[in-house]
């Protein structure tokens, strides 16, 4: 990867939950300002993620976080909505780099590569891209993106917990835990539940 002047790591958070947006982050790390302890966000405690996220934002050359909404998830499906969030994060990062440099250093054809965690790539990315299975464990820039995406989404779910009390979003973050299933059965789906997901759709049929 040394032939590329910009190595952009991309990862997502929130594909599996029954509620809330899916989030993606894109990060260009600064090799002169390393961040120790980067790995897959799922391997880290919440405390460790919350410690690392501000360091990443402070030391990275550029970073961006973007979302696809619950409505977009239900309209497109979760796979395509995840790709949409990734496309938005990358596009926002490119604009950030362009604004900082005074010129678009990352326009197509320049020395940039996008590394995406997983086994598939979104379409229409503005630079060459590679999908890397378990890339959040092997590529520090993807690990950093994983942490930013996860901490951003967790903060969003904590906010939704205030707006939609009773569901416990700040605890389970929208994932299909027993506590979430109980709250969903007791209260019914709310506006931020993914109606296309089977557990929510099943309840909607009986509403």
- Domains in the chain: ranges and CATH: 6-165 (3.30.420.10)
Summarize pLDDT for 96-150 with one digit per residue, the tens.
887 665 544 444 445 799 999 999 999 999 999 999 999 999 999 999 999 999 9
The larger pLDDT score, comparing residue 71 to residue 206, is at: 71
Find out whether 183 and 204 touch, Cβ atoms under 8 Å: no
132's enclosing H/E stretch is strand 129-132
Please tell me the predicted confidence (pLDDT) of residue 99: 67
Q: What is the pLDDT of residues 23-80, one digit of tens each?
A: 999 999 999 999 999 999 999 999 999 999 999 999 999 999 999 999 999 999 999 9
Average of per-residue pLDDT across 150-174: 98
Which pLDDT belongs to residue 158?
Answer: 98
Average pLDDT, stretch 13-22?
A: 98
- Is there a binding annotation on residue 12? yes
Both tokens of residue 52?
């690392």
78 vs 58: CA distance, rounded Å: 31
Residue with tokens 């229409």: 124
Q: Which pLDDT score, from 0 to 100, does residue 204 have?
A: 84
Q: Tell me whether residue 11 is annotated as binding.
A: yes
- Tell me what pLDDT residue 96 has: 84
Which run of H or of E encompasses 7?
A: strand 6-13
Q: What is the pLDDT of residue 110?
A: 52
Cβ contacts of 27 within 8 Å, gap of 6 or more: 8, 9, 10, 56, 60, 62, 63, 93, 141, 144, 145, 148
Q: What value, to the nearest 5°, has the Cα angle with vertex 134 and ends 130 and 138?
A: 85
**Predicted pLDDT at 101:** 53
Please, are residues 199 and 188 in contact by the beta-carbon 8 Å criterion? no
**Tokens standing for 54?**
């501000």
């Amino acid at each position: 990867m040394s032939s590329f002047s910009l190595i952009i790591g991309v990862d997502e958070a929130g594909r599996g939950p029954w509620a809330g947006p899916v989030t993606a982050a894109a990060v260009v790390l600064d090799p002169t300002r390393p961040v120790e302890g980067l790995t897959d966000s799922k391997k880290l405690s919440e405390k460790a993620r919350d410690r690392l996220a501000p360091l990443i934002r402070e030391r990275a050359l550029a970073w961006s976080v973007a979302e696809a909404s619950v409505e977009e998830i239900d309209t497109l499906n979760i796979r395509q909505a995840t790709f949409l969030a990734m496309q938005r994060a990358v596009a926002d990062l490119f604009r950030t780099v362009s604004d900082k440099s005074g010129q678009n250093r990352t326009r197509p054809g320049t020395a940039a590569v996008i590394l995406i965690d997983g086994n598939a790539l979104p379409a229409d990315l503005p630079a060459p891209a590679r999908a890397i299975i378990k890339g959040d464990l092997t590529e520090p820039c993807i690990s950093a993106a994983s942490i930013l995406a996860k901490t951003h989404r967790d903060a969003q779910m904590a906010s939704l917990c205030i707006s939609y009390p009773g569901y416990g979003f700040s605890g389970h973050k929208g994932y299909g835990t027993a506590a979430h299933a109980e709250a969903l059965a007791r209260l019914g789906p709310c506006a931020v539940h993914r109606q296309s997901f089977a557990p929510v759709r099943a309840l909607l049929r009986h509403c």
